[in-house]
Amino acid sequence: MLRLLITLATVFLTWASAAAEQVRVATWNIANFWHVEGEYLRPEPGGGPGQIRTAADYRAIADLARELNADIVGLQEMGSTEAARRAFPEATYDLIFSRRFEEDLRADPSKLANPKKRDIYTALALRKDKVKLIRIEPIAELAITDREGHPVRDGTAALVEAGGRRFWAVSLHLNSGCARIEDPASYRNPSRPNLEEACEMLVRQIPILERWIDVRERAGEDFVLLGDFNRVFDRANEPLWRDLDDRDPQTLDLFMVPYRQALVCSGHSPEPDRSIAYVILNKRLWAWAEPSDSPKLDVTGKNVSDHCPVFLDLRLP
């Protein structure tokens, strides 16, 4: 009898494994991504020309997107829908673009014609033959304004169905400039007001994201956060991570990749470093995760991107 039970269990596990569908989720900040070859999206902060890409750069980005082979991709620093389409073509991917992008164009239809007016946005790319879009609900509150009244990025969120399971996919790009300050909530430096403001804004965004997470968790809804969080979350006693993963509600438990791994992103630096981009899941969805030993594809050349795509495979039954 015992042998029969073991045999049946083996058959069931084999069937379950075969029936499960692999879904790859990823995040990629393609760094000031504009769709026109030889033209920059926006000027550098000092006023000089911004990042200019060649035909070879665009080919390299498209090749990397094919190598990534992700089913759900959170995108950051998109300058236009046409730019996103250069990496994730319409024949293969549905594209959900930031609502703030649409609002900006309605307010100023000439915005994309002027590099001094252009901005960067979040987006989601969903593989058409594996991911079904249920509905879109942007996290507009994340687009807080700086001291000059300019809004930062909102969150692009969608309820999707993949591998027979429904969950939220969210593309995030939190405020930059405060990645490694030990205690951002208490950071004060009169000699560096821009850095002080960067930390202040990031600290303001965290409770907004935390509330969104708590609402989803209390509703029993799974989620994956795909983002450039502009913060080293995976270190001991990281205060902003503790705020997000605060066990309130009690069922809340978050998991991330990469986790305490120094990985190479050659477009940024030849030296291994901790990431500021993560794939973050709630506990129920993490149960189906198959993390890689090196969950990042390398990018060579800053004209391609100074960020590398981070990915995670889910084996959804």
Give per-residue pLDDT as tens, 37-94.
999 999 988 888 889 999 999 999 999 999 999 999 999 999 999 999 999 999 999 9
Global pTM reads 0.92
Q: Is the pLDDT of residue 12 over 70?
A: no
Q: Is 68 helix (H, G, I), strand (E, B) or coil?
A: helix
- Domains, in order of start, for the chain: 22-316 (3.60.10.10)
Pick the more confident residue, 240 or 4.
Answer: 240
Tell me if 272 sits within 8 A of 263, measured CB to CB: yes
* Chain segment 51-64, per-residue pLDDT in tens: 999 999 999 999 99
Confidence of residue 247 (pLDDT cuts 50, 70, 90): confident
Cα→Cα distances 304→6, 23, 57, Å: 52, 26, 5
Average pLDDT, the chain: 92
